[in-house]
Structure 1
Amino acid sequence: MNEQLVQNIQYRRDVMRVLALFTCVGGLLFSVLNFYRDIYILSAIELGFCFYSIFLWRIIPTTPHFSTWVLFYIIPCFLVIQYALFLPQSSEAMFVWILTIPLVSYLLLGRQKGFWVSVFFIVLGLIVYHWRFIDDSNSFTLNTAISINVCFSAIMCMAIAHVYELNREKNEQRLLALAGTDKLTGLANRMKLEGGFEHYSLLSKRHNINFIFVLIDLDFFKNINDQYGHDMGDKALCYVADFLKKNIRESDLLARFGGEEFSLLMTSSDIDEAYQHINLIREKLSQHPFIRDNHSIKITMSAGLATYGIDGTSLDSLMKKADERLYMAKSNGRNCIVITDQN
């Protein structure tokens, strides 16, 4: 599948660059302020983060190790926030930065990693805050009210970030499903086929699993459109798509290749086994006509098969070989299957 859709981290790179820019400016500003407040260690750390952020700002757009660099940014950054909150010279206002932890974590790390990073650093921040600012001289009710306020505000920020990221993931998955689906038949389209091929190719290399690429064309389908109209032709295509889907294995990937052509990726199959399976589908299709509006329309199919590793290792090479054999099947009178160049 399209890499930008599958990995979709460009927006995370943009967020990371914005944060790096703010960290640079904020680090320089607070470094100067803390230097004049005689907090030299914190000042030096913040100045170091300023230069580190410039480095990150430059490499984030192109680095292939984006997730690693995100961790190298947020973990030290969150630790510095905890350290600043811990210092005797800090005020309660420092706790505001603790509330940014869920937002940053979820935006840069996603829902699962963001959740655990947020939980760890928020709990740590709450512990540091209570140790620094809960005063035994205050009344129990006052301390309780302060504690509830800071805990609830932190939990609320984390809950909002979690719900946002969860819904963003669902919307992204919905868009991916729509982008990878043929509108007419509901089958996978060319984009999803490409993604499926990449997945099967990796499985084949890692586990030595065979798979077959099948290219199917409906015989004389243009006659259906010419005789009964394109609306009937669309219904016939949907019928064939549903028929094929019901007669393949769950592990196989069926896609509409275009027009009246379909493609199929068959896993864990050798060429003979694949031929027997596709030939059985061919026979069953020819025996089950499409019936609609008092019309009984016999539909047959031709197919060409190609084997991964033997006929090619790329989708284009397998498609080319399968298409050549499909052409041979048509030349042989249609309603048949070709699996070798000698057929």
Structure 2
Amino acid sequence: MFKLLAPRFKAIIHNYAFGGLSGEDLSEQSRRILLINLFCLVGVLFTLPHGILAFIDGDMMIAASTLSIASLYTFNHIYLRLTFNYEVSSNIILYPLFMLMFFLLYSGGVAQTGFVWIYCIAPVAMFLHGLKRGLIEITFFLIILILIFLFPNEIGATYNWSAELKKRIVYSFLVLGFLSAFYEYSRMKSIHLLRNISKDLEKASKTDPLTNLLNRRGMLEIIRDNNASKKIFDNAIVICDVDFFKKVNDQYGHNVGDEVLIKLSNEFKETWGKDAHISRWGGEEFLIFIPSSLFDIIQPEVERFRKRIESIRFGALDNPFHITLSFGIARFDYQKETVDAAINRADKHLYKAKNHGRNCIFSD
């Protein structure tokens, strides 16, 4: 029975905490919604019983304030679930909490224990509004706290605490505020570091380490994103292969072969870097995706590039050599075929170029 109910109970708790979101992306929105809903729950669980007890004891002022907070937090959870506006919801959490804490300080609270609740202010402000805004809000609260302690007669406060206790309340609040600020600072630094690491890993997963061009995965993602942006007409896929590259490695060494690929990559970027996406497709093979261009002008551009590479000297100054390239070009329309089909067609054109003596271009 328990095994059957446990997943259902877990789903209900998760649904409440994230307000209907998955909560799996660890985004700022998910984090804020989780915190607000948890604070709403804790706020209701603490204020509702105290409000009921105060009502039974006949302390209508305490009862009204705590029951109002419980009602407000319940409404806030419903509002957040409907709108996902965590900026407004965080204010609904924090600022009424400020007012309740000021009232407890002013009145002394139940049995003169009101001050014990003020220590939730620092972490709540930091968690909901971040380091900078949280510090401002904590400072504002501390100033009002000190004024209430310094001028009780002038404002008609009814608490009954000694001067020594009031000092310790201020000191302990300062310590907790410092610890909350330090925690939030550390959390922000950690998140910033993790995001940078995540970006670096994502970039590395889509980049060829030798040439710093896109790799196969990165290129396929670019082509699919291009489809999502509705740039669907007159795209070109160009596949290029270095002719007899194995001979370069065998005769001059793999280091020289790597230098050829790096220099060739730079030539690709210089020629098409602004208008196209370039990738090292594998080994000595490159794929260039040219989105939304006039397809009829692609082959002349590729031909000019082929001749340019043919004239460039590679290798050492005292032992230079030349390379040639073979190309296959396919017109790609997202509405008519898949990405794989267009790439396969360009690849077939490349093999035609190789079978016809290399150092040439075949196209649709």
Q: TM-score, normalised by structure 2?
A: 0.65
* Aligned mates of 1:23, 1:189 — CA distance in 2: 46
Which one-letter code corresponds to 1:266 in the other structure? I
1:87-123 CA-to-partner distances (Å, cap 9, x unmatched) read 22364843643544444556xxxxxxxx8xx74x775
Q: Which of 314, 322, 333 pairs up with 1:290?
A: 314
Query: What's the counterpart of residue 217 of structure 1?
Result: 241
Q: How does 1:99-118 map to 2 (within 5 A)?
A: 99-104=123-128
Query: What's the counterpart of residue 182 of structure 1?
Result: 208
* Partner SS for 2:222: helix
- CA distance 1:279–1:256, change in 2 (3 Å): same
Query: What's the counterpart of residue 11 of structure 1?
Result: 26
Q: How does 1:136-151 map to 2 (within 5 A)?
A: 137=151
* Aligned mates of 2:217, 2:37 — CA distance in 1: 36
Q: Is the 8 A contact 1:216 1:302 kept in 2?
A: yes
* Aligned mates of 1:210, 1:126 — CA distance in 2: 61
Identity, % of aligned positions: 20
Which one-letter code corresponds to 1:306 in the other structure? A
Q: How does 1:219-234 map to 2 (within 5 A)?
A: 219-234=243-258
Which one-letter code corresponds to 1:305 in the other structure? I
Q: Is the 8 A contact 1:82 1:125 kept in 2?
A: no
Which one-letter code corresponds to 2:198 in the other structure? E
Q: Which of 45, 48, 62 pairs up with 1:29?
A: 45
| 2:224 corresponds to 1:198 | yes
* Aligned mates of 1:47, 1:79 — CA distance in 2: 11
Q: Is the 8 A contact 1:311 1:318 kept in 2?
A: no
Q: Which of 20, 43, 59 pairs up with 2:70?
A: 43
Which deviates further from its counterpart, 212-221 or 162-171?
162-171
| 2:92 corresponds to 1:79 | yes
- CA distance 1:274–1:102, change in 2 (3 Å): farther
> How many angstroms does 1:277 deviate by?
1.6
- CA distance 1:76–1:129, change in 2 (3 Å): farther
> How many angstroms does 1:276 deviate by?
1.7
Query: What's the counterpart of residue 242 of structure 1?
Result: 266
* Aligned mates of 2:143, 2:233 — CA distance in 1: 58
Which deviates further from its counterpart, 297-306 or 243-252?
243-252
- CA distance 1:161–1:254, change in 2 (3 Å): same
> How many angstroms does 1:44 deviate by?
3.4
Q: Is the 8 A contact 1:30 1:46 kept in 2?
A: no
* Aligned mates of 1:190, 1:238 — CA distance in 2: 17
> How many angstroms does 1:83 deviate by?
0.6
* Aligned mates of 2:92, 2:334 — CA distance in 1: 55
* Partner SS for 2:323: coil
* Aligned mates of 1:105, 1:198 — CA distance in 2: 38
> How many angstroms does 1:332 deviate by?
2.4
- CA distance 1:134–1:320, change in 2 (3 Å): farther
* Aligned mates of 2:305, 2:92 — CA distance in 1: 62
* Aligned mates of 1:200, 1:124 — CA distance in 2: 45
Q: Is the 8 A contact 1:213 1:319 kept in 2?
A: yes
Q: Is the 8 A contact 2:329 2:362 kept in 1?
A: yes
* Aligned mates of 1:251, 1:196 — CA distance in 2: 13
Query: What's the counterpart of residue 3 of structure 1?
Result: none
**How much is the aligned-residue C-alpha RMSD, in angstroms?**
4.2
* Partner SS for 2:213: coil
* Partner SS for 2:241: strand
Q: Is the 8 A contact 1:214 1:263 kept in 2?
A: yes
Where relative contact order (Cα < 8 A, 6+ residues apart) is larger, the structure is 1
> How many angstroms does 1:29 deviate by?
3.2
1:4-63 CA-to-partner distances (Å, cap 9, x unmatched) read xxxx972338856964784476245314443334221223344567x869x97xxxxxxx
Q: Is the 8 A contact 1:31 1:47 kept in 2?
A: no
> How many angstroms does 1:283 deviate by?
0.7
* Aligned mates of 2:120, 2:96 — CA distance in 1: 14
- CA distance 1:191–1:103, change in 2 (3 Å): farther
Q: Which of 276, 286, 289 pairs up with 1:262?
A: 286
Which one-letter code corresponds to 1:190 in the other structure? R
Which one-letter code corresponds to 2:363 in the other structure? I
Q: Which runs of 5+ in 2 are unaligned?
A: 1-22, 55-62, 105-113, 153-166
Q: How does 1:152-163 map to 2 (within 5 A)?
A: 163=189
